[in-house]
A and B are shown apart, each in its own frame.
Chain A
Amino acid sequence: MTELVLQNVSLRFGGLIALDDISFTVSPGSLHALIGPNGAGKSSCFNVISGLYRPTAGTVRLGVQDLLRLAPHRVARLGIGRAFQNTALSPHSTVLDNVLLGRHALTRGGFLAGGLRLTSRQERLHAARAREICDFLGIGASVDRPLGALPYGVAKLADIARALATEPSLLLLDEPAAGLNTDETAELAAMIGQIRTDLDIAVLLVEHDMELVMGIADQVTVLDFGRVIADGTPADVQTDPDVVKAYLGVTT
């Protein structure tokens, strides 16, 4: 993978400044965390990377590719997989069907090809890969169940499975631990570590759970009010006075 570089990115909604001159780099194969209090601009940052928001200024590059010139579906095809904050899956479809959506860019065929059963071999091959990914994440037993009938923790993993199904080199995870209990969070942390090491995928993680972040991240970027206030290893960031101030509200 090539590195993801955000350079002087600003995002304005009318008078509201969501991102103010943000710069950071996600290195290949690293586990990079993006943290900050509520409203710091973490999700906005994700939406800029995946092309859903267009920044007012700045550049976003993946290697030499300028992401800002691409439509969102093209960004996905470059190898950036994304899991959503509250999962964005189809509740009536099965887990497998949801995960297979991640194979969209890797497959071909429209209405007639599907209707005439010309794609059945392709469907079988990709379904097998989707099952493999679900097995890897430990939700292999639920693949054929409708998503709406499953516990939230499984749905979260299905969302990650779908992002992995795009065969990304960079995985964006938006608050994967939100709504999970302590045990589930610990399992998830182990899982994210595994994704990075076993699959050799760089992970950019937005998270509130400090314990999770500090335990597994290589690099941490801290946002507050749309600005980068710290960028470094977890140890560096934890002792940074600006970070302590932003989180605990300590003055002087």
Chain B
Amino acid sequence: MSRLAWIPVGIVLLLLPLYLEAPWLKAGQYMMIGAVGAIGLTLLTGQAGQLSLAHGFFLLVGATSYTVLAGPKGDHLGLGLDPLISLVGAVAISALAGMAFAPVAGRVRGIYLGVASLSLVFLGLYLGQAAESLTGGTSTGRDPATFKLFGFPFSNEGDLVVAGVPIRGTERIWYLFLALLALAYWLARGAVRTRIGRAWRAVRDNEAAAAAMGVDVRRTKASVFAVSSAYAGLAGVMTVLWFDILKPDESEYGTYGVNTSIAFLAMVIIGGLGSVGGAVIGALVVFGLPQVLTLYSTDLGWFTGSVTPVLVSSFVYGAAIVLVVLFEPGGLAAVGPRVKHRIRELRS
């Protein structure tokens, strides 16, 4: 997208809280969580070619780290740090956790790496339940500290009114998430266009050639795991702020489970592997659809018994993956340029 095209998009996103009801804003925030996580995974899997099913685990690492760092000293372990510092700290801890996985990533490839990374999800499931002093355990969970920026709380506290609309917790979190997503997007776009991005693609396409050009393959893999996990960790922090609770999963299917890892892979594939913009679009589809269907469920009247919005959207994004793989391996990100190319061909 050209730079000018961003202006209207930005204005609309900034004005939405003045018009949308809270449930719609919540839905939008959830899509932004997905977008941040998906950008991280598209760098790892799309740009650097490293398959990972561990994204859900790194979400949990980020979520727990924030809650512990910012949490009050009490029943659970809490350091009571400033929430902004805690957020940065949680991202850094997630990056380190990703880097700790690098020795494994350097040894196995492709689907084997995918399976090896899956073990982390089960490790997370176990630790989430066992380390109750950190996570609060599966039965009660644990309240995260309210996010504050230089003393300004992202909650309903205090009166703030803009254009006759009260800017309460939901609206404030919208702006916080929007800023985080914009930063995450901008950093990723910059990185893929420069030296590190070229090194990632070289490692993906031919490790021997990458090494012959002076790329330290092992270090490059470690760095991309760190970056991707940092993104997942940030998405994890956003997740606890969104739910306003840290609650470890009871089974491998949950907020930080296998299904989440797969949902992120789905976003990345639907959007187009390696495309930062595509990852955002993929997140709108995969995380947005169940949210929007839920909001419309009573109006639609489709959902009875076991047919839930989540179930229906799983089918939709499952079908979307099949369609993308069959007809447009470049994903939704490649549709735009293709249409433009077609139009140009038809004109001449």
- Where the two chains meet, the residues of A that have a C-beta atom closer than 8 Å to any C-beta of B are 50-52, 71-73, 75-77, 82, 84, 88-93, 97, 100-105, 107-117, 119, 123, 162, 166
Contacts and interface: CB of A to CB of B under 8 A. Distances in A.
A52 B205 contact: no
Given A89-B205, A110-B223, A116-B187, A166 B194 contact: no
B48 to A, nearest CB: 11
Contacts of B191: 111, 114-115
A79 to B, nearest CB: 10
B344 interface: no
B208 interface: yes
Contacts of A51: 211
A148 B189 CA distance: 22
Given A114-B191, A117-B190, 13 more contacts: A50-B212, A75-B212, A76-B212, A76-B213, A76-B214, A88-B206, A101-B213, A104-B195, A104-B202, A107-B195, A113-B194, A115-B191, A166-B214
Nearest to B216: A73
Given A110-B223, A111-B196, A116-B190, A82 B205 contact: no
Contacts of A114: 190-191, 193-197
Q: Which of A75, A77, A104 has the most CB of B within 10 A?
A: A104
Interface string B194-236: 1111110110111011111111110000010001000000000
Interface residues of B, number: 30
Contacts of B205: 88-91
Contact of A101 (B186, B189, B198): B198
B202 A90 contact: yes
Nearest to B208: A52
B211 A73 contact: yes
A198 B215 CA distance: 27
Interface in B281-339: none
Given A88-B205, A111-B196, A114-B196, A104 B215 contact: yes
B188 interface: yes
Contacts of A117: 190
11 contacts: A76-B212, A84-B209, A92-B201, A104-B202, A109-B194, A109-B196, A115-B188, A115-B190, A115-B191, A166-B213, A166-B214
Main secondary structure of the interface of B (DSSP, over half): helix
Nearest to A76: B214
A97 B198 contact: yes
A105 B195 CA distance: 10
B221 to A, nearest CB: 13
A52 B217 CA distance: 12
A221 to B, nearest CB: 21
Contact of B211 (A72, A110, A112): A72
Interface string B149-185: 0000000000000000000000000000000000000
A112 B187 contact: yes
Give the interface centre of A75, A84, A110 by most chain B CB atoms within 10 Å. Answer: A110
A116 to B, nearest CB: 7
A72 B212 contact: yes
Nearest to B202: A101
A71 B218 CA distance: 11
A119 B195 contact: yes
B321 to A, nearest CB: 20
Nearest to B186: A115
A52 B198 CA distance: 21
A123 B198 CA distance: 12
A112 B217 CA distance: 19
Contact of A77 (B206, B214, B217): B214
A52 B211 contact: yes
Contacts of A75: 212
A130 B196 CA distance: 17
Nearest to A104: B214
Given A73-B214, A104-B214, A112-B187, A88 B197 contact: no
B205 to A, nearest CB: 4
B198 A104 contact: yes
